[in-house]
Amino acid sequence: MLTTNHTFLLKEKAKELGFTYCKVSRADFLHKEALQLERWLAKDYHGEMNYMESHFDKRLDPRLLVDGAKSVISLAFNYYSTEQQEDKNAPKISMYAFGRDYHKVVKQKLRLLFNFLQEEIGDINGRYFVDSAPVMEKSWAEKSGIGWIGKHTNLISKEQGSYFFLAELIVDIPFIYDEPIKDYCGTCTKCIDACPTDAITEPYVVDGSKCISYFTIELKNAIPKNVNGKFENWMFGCDICQLVCPWNKFSVPHNESSFLPKKELLSLKKQDWENLKEEEFEEIFEGSAVKRAGFKGLKRNIKFVKKSDQTLPE
């Protein structure tokens, strides 16, 4: 009875804080994912993301992150926006980076949720994460039934598509555990067909080192010449596989003020981006995830997509 009550309180509070989904899995070792991760790393699909090789065991067993862990609470926070950059020819930024850095926004909500649980339940130990630790967040979200991992390897919800940030609370108390749902991708291959760099090597497998998001965010060296002309104007991140996904017709706009884009971001024209100064960058992207690329990184990307644009056939 207590477990049922705790589960109800958890989900009601998560909803109050703005989370679209809150579901729970039993903390255990991820057997299937262990083999998949091993194969993925062996093929060097992580490129220069060396951190993916670190803490292999911790990625697969939440009990190594939290002593006595019994539950992985998976949460999803909607970031879908109908706002768009006004100049269709301007270099493009992934929708998730329109507003304030999601790490900070969602982590603050997680902190409030964890504090609430401690107040209501009492003796509870745990940790919370937003894409900032060795946690297989998509796997746990899938296990909990928030959605399924699609062929593009993003998590898809049957009700609202895939524009979500994922977060986790790993705690040492039990809850009522949720069940996974089936895969609804069917025979669709739209994401595979649309990827301009062929990063989706086969259904449910992405070569991270070929992804536009990797090139524009993770890669610190020069962008390889063999992808020249393939970025479709993306200068930070890429939304192509989500834009073509039929399930995203069910996406609904978020209502989180922190994720609203600055007007300057949407109004900059192609030439403005090409002439962007560091002071402008600092002002427009204050508190933004785009800071991860840095001014020099973003300028490199803008220069690359401009060069690609110039070399495309008429």
Active centre residues (catalytic): 131
d(CA 16, CA 295): 37
Name the residue among 122, 120, 135, 160 with its Cα closest to residue 73.
Answer: 135
How many residues make up the chain in this entry? Answer: 314
Q: Which residue spans within the chain are E strands per DSSP?
A: 21-26, 71-78, 92-93, 126-129, 148-149, 155-156, 164-171, 200-202, 205-206, 234-236
CA distances from 1 to 30, 33, 122, 144, 269 (A): 29, 33, 16, 21, 59
The widest CA-to-CA distance across the chain, in whole angstroms, is 68
What angle is formed at CA 288 by the lines to CA 284 and CA 292, rounded to 5 degrees?
110
